[in-house]
Amino acid sequence: MYNMSICTIKFSTNILQPRMVVARLSCRLKNGSVGIGHCTKVPRNANMEKLQHGYLFPEIERHEVMHLEKYPHANIIDLGIGDTTEPLPTIVTTSMVDFVHGLSTRKGYKGYGPEQGEKALRKEITDVFYKDLGIKPTEVFVSDGAQCDITRLQLLMGPNLKIAVQDPSFPAYIDSSVIIGRAGEFVDKAGKYKNIEYMKCGPQTNFFPDLSTTSRPDIIFFCSPNNPTGHAATRKQLEQLVDFAKVNGSIIIFDSAYSAYITDDSPKSIFEIPGAREVAIEVSSFSKFAGFTGVRLGWTVIPEELLYSNGFPVVHDFNRIVCTCFNGASNIAQAGGLACLSSKGFRAVKSLAAYYMENARILVNALGSLGLTVYGGKNAPYVWVHFPGSKSWNVFAEILEKTHMITVPGSGFGPGGEEYIRISAFGPRQSIIEASQRLKHLLYQEDN
C-alpha cells in the first residue's frame, strides 16, 4: 500500500535513542530488499508517533485489498466507508458543466474567488439550512469538506485545550487532536488518550453522554446524527449540551453532516437551540446529502457572538486561518452547490437521501429478523449492529471472509464501539438486497 521505505534503525544498548552519528542505515524497501538509505537530522513529529495504527478507513481498504488477493474473483460488496454511490442529479452536473465551459471564454473565465466562499452560495446556505435561526451569510465559510474544516478548527484553537468526544465517534476528531498535540499519551489498557474526555454514548444512556459525570472540557466535538451509531440527538438532549457548554465556558464543534437524513423532529442544527450562538460552531457538508463525496464542498458556521475568554470574536481568527491556509473551494464545486440549493435541485438531492434511507430500512429489517439488536437506520444512513461478547474486528473479519462484505468494526470509532459493527446504507439497491441475503445466510448457518 505504501511507497515509502521503512527504515530499520539500530539502537544503542544503553539508551532508547538512535545513534545520532549514524546517517546511513539499512532500509527495508517496499519489495522486501535491503538497501542503504540516508536519514536527515530532522526528528519525526512526536505527535505522529502517538497515533494508533493507521487511520481507520485506509486500514479498512487495506483489508479489502488483502482479501482480493486471497479471493481474486470474489464479488465484494462494500458497505464500509460511507461513500455515496448514486449519480448526481442532472441539474447539478449541468450547472458545473456550464461553468467549466465558461472558463474557456473571456467572459466566463474566473480565477481566485473569496477565500470564504462565493457570496451567492453563502447566502443560499443561510436561506436553505438556517432560515429563521439568525445566521448571517458572513458567518458562513464555504470549504472543501467538513473533515478539512475539522482540522482547520483544530489549528484555530490553542495547543493546551481539553477535548471531549462522544464515544463512539468519528475518528477524525481524535486523530486530529493527537496530531495537533492535545491528546496526550495513549493508555493501552483503557484504549484511550489520557487528555481526551471520552463521553460514553451507548444505548444504556440513549446515545447521549451523562454530562453530570463529564469533567469540564474546552472543546466538545459532537456529531448529530451520530457517525457511527446513527442516533440523532433530541431537542432536550441538545438543550442540555448547550447549557453544559455555557456553565463550563466550553465551545461545541457540532458536526451536522448527516442532518438531511433526519426524519423525525430532532434538531437539524445546533442553532435551533436557544443560546447556541454563544457557545457553538457548526460544520456541515454537501458530501452525504448531495452526493459530493468526490466533488468536495462543505461549510462551517461561526456566529459573531462566539467569543474567546478575552472577549475576542472567534469568527475573526477563523477568517484569518481560512485566508492563510486555504484559497477557497473550487469554483466548479460551488457552482454545483448553488444548483443543489435551487428549489428544483434541492428536491432532486433530497430524493437521493430518501433512496439511501430505504436502503437502511432494508438492512435494519433483515438484521432485526435474525434477532440481532440493531440501532440507527432511522435518522442516518448507518446501521449499528450489536454482537454481544464479540470483538468487533473479529466480527468484521468473519463477515469479510464468509460473505465477501466490507463493514467497519465498531472499535475503530473508540472503545465504546467494541462488540459493534457499522454497516453503511450507501450503495446500489441491488447490492443492499444481496448484502442482506448474504448476512441472513451467514447468521442463520451460525445459529443452526
- Tell me what pLDDT residue 38 has: 87
Q: How far apart are CA 10 and CA 17, in angstroms?
A: 9
CATH classification at residue 313 = 3.40.640.10
Q: What is the pLDDT of residue 25?
A: 46
- Assess whether 260 and 314 both reside in one domain: yes
Is 440 contained in some domain?
Answer: yes
Question: Is 60 exceeded by the pLDDT of residue 2?
Answer: no
**pLDDT confidence of residue 110:** 95
Half-sphere exposure in the Cβ direction for 431 (13 Å, CA): 18
pLDDT of 252 strictly over 50? yes
Residues 96 and 145 both lie in one domain? yes
Instruction: Identify the residue with better confidence: 425 or 447.
Output: 425
* Over residues 5-16, mean pLDDT: 36
Is pLDDT above 90 for 17? no
Q: Which residues contact 445 (CB under 8 A, 6 or more apart)?
A: none
Q: Calculate the average pLDDT of the chain.
A: 91
d(CA 261, CA 379): 5
321 and 398 assigned to the same domain = no
Same domain, 433 and 354: yes
Within-domain flag for 248: yes
One-letter amino acid identity for 297?
L
Does 49 reside within a domain?
Answer: no
Confidence of residue 447 (pLDDT cuts 50, 70, 90): low
pLDDT at 13: 37
Q: Looking at the structure, do residues 62 and 130 belong to the same domain, yes or no? A: no
Q: Could you tell me which of 195, 118, 111, 117 has the C-alpha nearest to residue 159? A: 195
Over residues 207-217, the pLDDT tens digits come to 999 999 999 99
Confidence of residue 444 (pLDDT cuts 50, 70, 90): confident
pLDDT tens digits for range 83-96: 999 999 999 999 99
Determine what percent of the chain is predicted with pLDDT higher than 70. 91
Shared domain check, 349 and 339: no
Question: For 187, phi and psi rounded to 5 degrees?
Answer: -100, 105
User: Of 316, 343, 370, which closes a domain?
Assistant: 343
Contact 261, 231 (CB under 8 A): no
157 plus 223 within the same structural domain: yes
Percent of the chain with pLDDT over 90: 87
* pLDDT(262) > 90: yes
51 within some domain? no
Question: Mind listing the pLDDT tens digit for each residue in 287-331?
Answer: 999 999 999 999 999 999 999 999 999 999 999 999 999 999 999
Whole-number pLDDT of residue 54: 77
pLDDT band at 340 (very low <50, low <70, confident <90, very high): very high
> From CA 215, how far away is CA 309, in angstroms rounded?
19
Q: Above 70 in pLDDT, residue 31?
A: no
| CA–CA dist 171, 191 (Å, integer) | 13
> Cis before residue 225, ω within 30 degrees of 0?
yes
Please check the confidence at residue 7 and state whether its pLDDT lies above 90: no
Per-residue pLDDT, 315: 98
Residue 340: name the closest of 181, 120, 20 by CA: 120
Domain count, the chain: 3
Residue 50 lies in a domain: no
Together in a domain, 317 and 186: yes
In a domain? residue 14: yes
Residue 378 sits in a domain whose CATH number is 3.90.1150.10
Q: What is the pLDDT of residues 105-159, one digit of tens each?
A: 999 999 999 999 999 999 999 999 999 999 999 999 999 999 999 999 999 998 8
Query: How would residue 443 be classed by pLDDT, with cut points 50, 70 and 90?
Result: confident
> Is 280 inside a domain boundary?
yes
Residue 448 has a pLDDT of: 62
Same structural domain, 37 and 94: no
Please identify which residue in the block is written with the cell numbers 464542498.
297
Question: The domain containing residue 18 runs over which residues?
Answer: 1-43
Q: Residues 324, 227: one domain?
A: yes
- pLDDT category, 445, cuts 50, 70, 90? confident
> Residues 281, 139: one domain?
yes
Mean pLDDT of 36-40: 81
Residue 285 vs residue 446, higher pLDDT: 285
Over residues 413-422, mean pLDDT: 97
Residues 6+ apart with CB under 8 A from 417: 167, 168, 228, 392, 409, 410, 411
| pLDDT > 70? residue 35 | no
Both 334 and 359 in one domain: the answer is no
Domain end marker among 294, 319, 343? 343
User: DSSP letters along 51-68, please?
Assistant: S-SS-HHHHHHHHHHHHH
Which of 167, 155, 235 lies closest to 196, judged by CA?
167
SS3 assignment, position 125: helix
Query: Does 259 reside within a domain?
Result: yes
Note whether 331 and 294 are within 8 A (CB): no
Q: For the chain, what is the largest distance between any 2 Cα atoms, rounded to a whole number of angstroms? A: 71
